[in-house]
Amino acid sequence: MTRKTFIKEFKELFREGRLRIAFFLVVLLLGVSVWISAQQYQKINKQHEIAKTAERTIWDNQGKKNPHSAAHYGTYAFKPKYPLSLVDQGVDKYTGTSIFLEAHKRNEAQYSAAADQTGLSRFGDLTPDFILLFIIPLLIILLGYNSFTKEREMGTITLLRSQEITFWKWAMGKWAALFLPILILIASLFLIAGIILSYLKDFGVFQWDSLFWIFLVYVGYYIVFMNLVLFVSSKVKKSGVSLVLSISIWILTCLAIPKVASNVAENKYPYPTRQEFAVNVLKDKKQGLDGHNPWSKEAQLLQKNVLKKHGVDSLHQLPFNFDAYRMQKGEEHEAEIYFKHYNYLKEQFSKQSGVYKGLASFSPYLPTRFMSMAISHTDYATHWDFADAAEKYRIATQKFLNDNFAENSKYGNWKYQADADFWKQLPAFEYTPPELRTVLSKNASNLFILGGWVIGSFILFLFSTKKIK
């Protein structure tokens, strides 16, 4: 019965002109969005490679220079574009592409794609994730809203009820007929994306298993929508009512709840403004050691302790340059302050994520969105991870430079210059995003919630079809 109904429904679906048109439009939109994303992706990666190489060349070829001057001159940590951003661009557009690494200061990522766009960018971009998250659920609604209501409206339900049919088996036939075209559609998309990513060079490390996991997440998301749409269709009498209710669910889950979640999270756990953040950091910095200020109370205390430790009376008697040593200690103090303040931001972010996760019970969109971005390495967590790695590199770079300054000169010798070859000894900044296993374990709650949605909505659908009148 399930197989017969599946074949019947499938034939009916594709004999309806409007559905063929809708399906064609979605395929076209997906094709265009993948093509646009692939182009952007190639362009950004090319720019990334050029900038990274150019910046390293400049660093390596500074010539003879004082290490602390080089520290202030700074360098850049470039955020890589990850292969799966072809599927989900996540928050990449807003988070910035590079971080300027300099002495005494932790900087924010800058040069975000959104900053380079006009106000029209508020309308959003045509990206595969937009189609996957918003348009395909609409296609599911269009394909399934009248799945049961049409039987009532046409009167075929009477004939069916007069047969000895098992309604859940019959309903499963309808379910399968709706699932198959969606499955074929997204399987094709992911396969094409995988092939493109496998064949394009310089696209970072592409992993089929990550792509497969995103595919599974979206399959789960669509199953939830299918179950909800079919549930509504089985419960109401008119196709029009079913369509309106299904679209209302889409509006609620894809548009309203995510925005409500964002507002609630922001209100409950607000980030400090950029100005507040800067003022707080400055306030803390003033209470500690400033590497450039030898007359401060903290610098005097450090000097006293160092002299005592080395058993000498004068800074000139120390086997290293105390100025450089003090600057390194200042760096370490400032790094702690930045760590403290950025940790507060991360805590707020974590609490905001908690709010999102709480509201994910009301919207399958939220866990899907988070999982998709996380696996694609385009979420805020990956950005934080990158920013932390850049900060670690900055601290290590400052130590590398200050140590060279301290070890190769004496107190008061600000004219010291490192050799021209010295700069090449600094390892290049390399960032590896979290592995798939780590991402999945960190997002276990999202997986669990989405799984709950899949199972819960399926049970709801099956119970609703136990007896259809």
Partner 1 sequence: MITTHNLTKTYNEQTALDRLNLQVNEGEIYCLLGANGAGKTTTINLLLGFISPSSGNAFINNIEVSKNTKETKKFLAYIPENLMLYPNLTALENLDYFSGIAQKKLSKKDLVSFLTEAGLQEKAFNKRISSFSKGMRQKVGIAIALAKDAKVLLLDEPTSGLDPKASNEFGRLLGKLSKKGVATLMATHDLFRAKEIATNIGIMKDGQLKEEFIANHISLPDLENTYLDTMNFKEAVL
Q: How far apart are CA 62 and CA 74, in angstroms?
A: 11
Residues 363-402 that bind partner 1 (CB under 8 A): none
Choosing from 158, 188, 350, 441, the residue that interacts with partner 1 (CB under 8 A) is 158
Q: In whole angstroms, give the CA distance from residue 20 to residue 16.
A: 7
| Closer of 8 and 72 to partner 1 (Cβ) | 8
Helix (H) or strand (E) holding 453: helix 444-464
**Which segment (72-80, 133-141, 163-171, 260-268) binds partner 1 by CB under 8 A?**
163-171
Residue 159 within binding range of partner 1, rule CB under 8 A? yes
Taking the least distance from each CB to partner 1, the nearer of 158 and 188 is 158
Kindly tell me the burial class for residue 205, based on how many C-beta atoms sit within 10 Å of its own C-beta (0-12, 13-18, 19 or more).
exposed
Per-residue buried b or exposed e for 96-120, using 16+ beta carbons within 10 Å of the residue's own CB? bbbbbbbbbebbebeebbeeeeeee
167 alpha carbon, distance to own chain's centre: 43
Tokens describing residue 119: 């106000």
Please, what is the minimum distance in Å from the beta carbon of residue 239 to partner 1?
14
The DSSP secondary-structure symbol of 256 reads I
Q: How far is the CB of 162 from partner 1 (least distance, A)?
A: 4
Per DSSP, the three-state class of 392 is helix
Closest CB to partner 1 among 155 and 319? 155
161 lies in the site for partner 1, by CB under 8 A: yes
- Regarding 237 and contact with partner 1 (CB under 8 A), the answer is no
**Which residue lies nearer to partner 1 by CB, 3 or 286?**
3
Q: Per CB under 8 A, which region of 85-93, 99-107, 125-133, 158-166 contacts partner 1?
A: 158-166
Smallest Cα–Cα separation from 187: which of 209, 210, 218?
Answer: 218
Q: Of 87, 89, 93, 95, whose CA–CA distance to 117 is shortest?
A: 93
The helix/strand/coil state of 1 is coil
What CA–CA distance (Å, rounded) separates 225 from 241? 17
Closest approach, Cβ 164 to partner 1, in A, equals 4
Residue 17 or residue 311: which is nearer to partner 1 going by CB?
17
Give min distance, CB of 469 to partner 1, in A: 8
Region near partner 1 per CB under 8 A, out of 4-12, 76-84, 308-316, 329-337: 4-12
Residue 14 CB, nearest approach to partner 1 (Å): 9
Q: Which residues contact 285 (CB under 8 A, 6 or more apart)?
A: 333, 334, 337
* Rg of the chain in Å (alpha carbons): 29
Contact letters (x/-) for partner 1, 137-156, by CB under 8 A?
-----------------xxx
Instruction: Please state the closest distance from residue 37 (CB atom) to partner 1, in A.
Output: 37
435: exposed, middle or buried (Cβ count in 10 Å: 0-12, 13-18, 19+): exposed
Q: What is the total count of residues that contact partner 1 (CB under 8 A)?
A: 21
Least distance in Å: CB of 149 to partner 1?
14
- Choosing from 113, 138, 160, 260, the residue that interacts with partner 1 (CB under 8 A) is 160
Per CB under 8 A, the list member of 16, 276, 347, 419 interacting with partner 1 is 16
Residue number, 158 or 300, with CB nearest to partner 1: 158
23/218 with CB nearer partner 1 = 23
Residue 467 interacting with partner 1 (CB under 8 A): no
Q: Phi-psi bin for 124: left (phi > 0), alpha (psi -120 to 50), beta? A: left
Binding site for partner 1 (CB under 8 A): 1, 4-5, 7-8, 11-12, 15-16, 154-156, 158-165, 170
